[in-house]
Amino acid sequence: MTAIAPHVSDFLRVRLPVERNASAHTRATYSHAFMLLFEFAARRLKCSPSGLKLEQLDAKLVMAFLDHLERERSNGISSRNARLAAIKSLFRYIEHRVPAALDQVRRILAIPTKRSTSR
């Protein structure tokens, strides 16, 4: 199994600030989204966030996380979609680094954003 931690560290320390020239605000927002995801996954899988493996973060778990955001954290659709965008960005990065995870990445990238009703 592949540890997710090195990929997340490289994504936050190199990919976003150096390669994508992302703002500090974007980096903080993505970091917070990952913190929420990893805390949720660790509770569900009964392990520490640092012990999470890439293979454990599948589309089913991501969907459960998004549902958790809406139902238990009372996040609105725009917050849910912003966190999904951060997760998809990370997995687009991972797909070029871990070829064995291509199907897993494809399934996560296929998760649709949620439409909100207009005001």
14-63 pLDDT, tens digit per residue, is 999 999 999 999 999 999 999 999 999 999 999 999 999 999 999 999 99
How confident is the prediction for the chain on average, in pLDDT?
95
Quick check: 93 and 11 in contact, CB under 8 A? Answer: yes
Distance from C-alpha of 68 to C-alpha of 75, rounded to nearest angstrom: 9
94-113 pLDDT, tens digit per residue, is 999 999 999 999 999 999 99
Cα angle value 26/38/78 (rounded, 5°)? 45
Q: What is the pLDDT of residue 52?
A: 96
**Pick the residue with more confidence: 83 or 116?**
83
Q: What is the pLDDT of residue 117?
A: 73
With 0-12 / 13-18 / 19 or more C-beta atoms within 10 angstroms meaning exposed / middle / buried, residue 78 is: exposed
Predicted TM-score (pTM) of the model is 0.93
Distance from C-alpha of 32 to C-alpha of 26, rounded to nearest angstrom: 10
DSSP H helices in the chain: 5-10, 24-45, 59-71, 77-95, 102-109
